[in-house]
């Protein structure tokens, strides 16, 4: 084997040949034996390159985030604080910190015990000033009774279906919980004169467009909270989390397979994630109270997330640490995790500050670094609230029709995101749109045949369709794009029939330029 499989790439290719993506868990003894041998060879290859010496997530596990504790304590003093999703992992840790900070009264609202509770009476939490209500955020009547009884001054809204793969399997529950449950929270915050509300979002919502259910619901929520901030009386703010290590579904799945002595499945090679720990998450939520401003939805996130970590390396490390001889195989990328990273999502003007949790439109719109140096502060970009509400008006009835296939709800959700996303690009400057297009297409690699545009087609269409009528020669000059480079860019775009007319319009810019140049040449010749 070593003579023919001399690199990690060769070993991975052989594993994929033995167990093609989409195959069931391998069980045939000879197959498992060969996979074991290949996995051990892969571990040795990784070790030879200096990897697997420590937990691949070690930096993320040990990282800390500054908490403006004195200011947070002052803001929370004498207040009652509600946490939706308070019995979840992050919510319960947030409540522990609120207790530590001396909050007057803490109210948890969670659906964890809804099916077993016969009444709305709360139960006591860990401390005398903490109460736990069993209620679903989709049940506005139940929520209203809690708001009426408790009159919270501050609300942290964490309740959500949070696992992308699960969201694809329970589309109706995810949409109704994540979107319409959030609408209930916003409505009651306004009705009961809540002072501040903090929403917990995800870095996946930084995508310009997404059809993945979890990411799409969070993106719609960001627009809902932005609209509420602009039109309501409550001061809203937001945080964006990334892969939470303390309750990582990926790590839990790998650990369970190792514990059960079963083959370890991961999605695919060369799949990367950035991680953060729950301490950072709690401090982000609390600091968000301080960065909130009236009539704007500001959000914060961890600035220094470190290098992305390969899921394959995580699996190999866990197998190595277990001391067991277990095989890995690649199951294929399931729904909820399929969308590739679009290079135009991040701002390449300053590569040293690239952060995948904030997109290039948001960086242009508003971006700052906290005085502590470890937090990025940004703001949601302008969009059409009318388009958002119109699209949600069409989505909501679908969630009340039990006969409707869930794929139709997902399709309409994707359409909501697409139509509102178009308006965000129409609000952005043509210069930024052209920069995003240039960064996203990666022209040199494309022309060498090393980069495929098709996986990024929805993003490219979105940018081009919002840009084609607003582009001019001055924009090209601002972006330092020559007419030759621009024509090469358009040639790449012309591979998509859906934007052919837009490409033709943009080609006219160059034609006008050449006509003008020829006119000037002829004029000089006549003189």
Tens of pLDDT along 238-252? Answer: 999 999 999 999 999
Q: In the block, which residue shows the tokens 């995003």?
A: 436
Average pLDDT over residues 323-344: 95
CB 275 within 8 A of CB 214: no
CB 100 within 8 A of CB 175: no
For residue 169 the two structure tokens come to 């399997």
Within 10 angstroms of residue 10's Cβ, the number of other Cβ atoms is: 17
Nearest to 437 by CA among 410, 457, 408, 412: 457
Q: State yes or no: pLDDT of 121 exceeds 50.
A: yes
Condensed to tens digits (0 to 9), the pLDDT of residues 136-191 reads 999 999 999 999 999 999 999 999 999 999 999 999 999 999 999 999 999 999 99
Q: CA dihedral in degrees (173, 179, 181, 185; nearest 10)?
A: 170
Strand-pair partners of 201: 240
pLDDT classification of 123: cutoffs 50, 70, 90: confident
Q: State yes or no: pLDDT of 125 exceeds 90.
A: no
Helix (H, G, I), strand (E, B) or coil at 304: coil
The reported pLDDT for the residue numbered 122 is 85
The reported pLDDT for the residue numbered 124 is 82
Average pLDDT over residues 424-446: 95
The domain locations on the chain are: 8-53, 60-379, 429-523
Terminal-residue alpha carbon distance, the chain: 78
**Who contacts 492 (Cβ-Cβ below 8 Å, separation ≥6)?**
441, 443, 446, 447, 453
- Please, what sign has the CA dihedral across residues 199, 202, 203, 209? negative
CB 176 within 8 A of CB 399: yes
Buried-exposed string 41-50: b where 16+ CB fall within 10 A, e elsewhere? bbbebbeeee
The reported pLDDT for the residue numbered 2 is 42
CB 492 within 8 A of CB 456: no
Q: CA dihedral in degrees (421, 423, 426, 432; nearest 10)?
A: -30
Q: In the block, which residue shows the tokens 């930084």?
A: 206
Q: What is the CATH number of domain 60-379?
A: 3.40.50.720
Residues 521 and 517: their CA atoms lie apart, in Å, by: 6
pLDDT classification of 516: cutoffs 50, 70, 90: low
Average pLDDT over residues 71-92: 97
- Model confidence, pTM: 0.93
pLDDT classification of 488: cutoffs 50, 70, 90: very high
Condensed to tens digits (0 to 9), the pLDDT of residues 262-300 reads 999 999 999 999 999 999 999 999 999 999 999 999 999
């Amino acid at each position: 084997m070593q003579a023919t499989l001399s690199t990690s790439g060769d070993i991975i290719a052989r594993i994929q040949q033995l167990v093609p993506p989409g195959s069931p868990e391998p069980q045939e003894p000879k197959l498992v034996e060969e996979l074991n041998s290949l996995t051990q060879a892969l571990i040795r290859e990784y070790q030879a390159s200096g990897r697997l010496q420590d937990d691949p997530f070690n930096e993320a596990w040990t990282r800390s985030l500054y908490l403006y504790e004195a200011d947070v304590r002052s803001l929370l003093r004498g207040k009652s604080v509600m946490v939706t999703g308070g019995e979840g992992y992050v919510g319960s840790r947030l409540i522990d910190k609120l207790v530590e900070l001396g909050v007057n009264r803490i109210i948890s609202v969670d659906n964890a015990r809804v099916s077993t509770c016969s009444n709305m009476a709360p139960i006591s939490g860990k401390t005398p000033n903490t109460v736990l209500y069993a209620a679903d955020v989709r049940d506005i009547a139940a929520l209203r009774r809690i708001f009426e009884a408790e009159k919270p001054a501050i609300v942290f809204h964490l309740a959500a279906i949070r696992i992308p793969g699960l969201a694809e399997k329970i589309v109706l529950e995810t949409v109704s919980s994540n979107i319409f449950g959030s609408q209930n929270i916003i409505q009651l915050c306004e009705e009961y004169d809540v002072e501040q509300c903090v929403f917990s979002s995800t870095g996946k919502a930084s995508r310009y467009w997404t059809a993945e259910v979890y990411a799409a619901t969070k993106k719609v929520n960001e627009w809902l909270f932005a609209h509420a901030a602009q039109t309501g009386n409550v001061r809203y703010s937001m945080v964006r989390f990334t892969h939470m290590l303390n309750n990582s579904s990926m790590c839990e799945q790998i650990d369970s397979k190792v514990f059960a002595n079963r083959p370890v499945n991961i999605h695919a090679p060369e799949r990367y994630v950035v991680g953060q720990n729950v301490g950072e998450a709690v401090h982000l939520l609390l600091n968000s109270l301080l960065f909130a401003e009236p009539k704007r939805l500001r959000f914060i996130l961890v600035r220094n997330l470190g290098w992305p970590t390969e899921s394959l390396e995580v699996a190999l490390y866990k197998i190595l640490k277990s001391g067991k001889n277990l095989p890995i195989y690649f199951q294929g990328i399931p729904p909820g995790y399929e969308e590739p990273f679009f290079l135009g999502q991040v701002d390449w003007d300053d590569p040293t500050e690239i952060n995948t949790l904030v997109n290039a439109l948001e960086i242009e719109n508003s971006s700052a670094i906290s005085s502590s140096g470890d937090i990025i502060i940004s703001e949601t970009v302008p969009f059409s609230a009318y388009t958002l509400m119109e699209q949600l008006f069409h989505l909501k009835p679908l969630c009340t029709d039990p006969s409707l296939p869930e794929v139709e709800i997902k399709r309409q959700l994707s359409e909501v995101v697409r139509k509102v996303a178009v308006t965000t690009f129409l609000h952005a400057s043509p210069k930024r749109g052209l920069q995003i297009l240039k960064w996203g297409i990666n022209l040199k690699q494309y022309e060498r045949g090393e980069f495929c545009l098709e996986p990024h087609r929805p993003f490219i269409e979105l940018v081009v369709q919002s840009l084609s009528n607003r582009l001019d020669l001055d924009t090209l000059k601002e972006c330092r794009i020559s007419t030759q480079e621009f024509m090469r860019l358009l040639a790449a775009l012309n591979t998509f029939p859906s934007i052919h007319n837009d490409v033709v319009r943009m080609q006219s810019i160059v034609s006008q330029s050449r006509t003008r140049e020829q006119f000037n040449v002829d004029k000089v010749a006549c003189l």
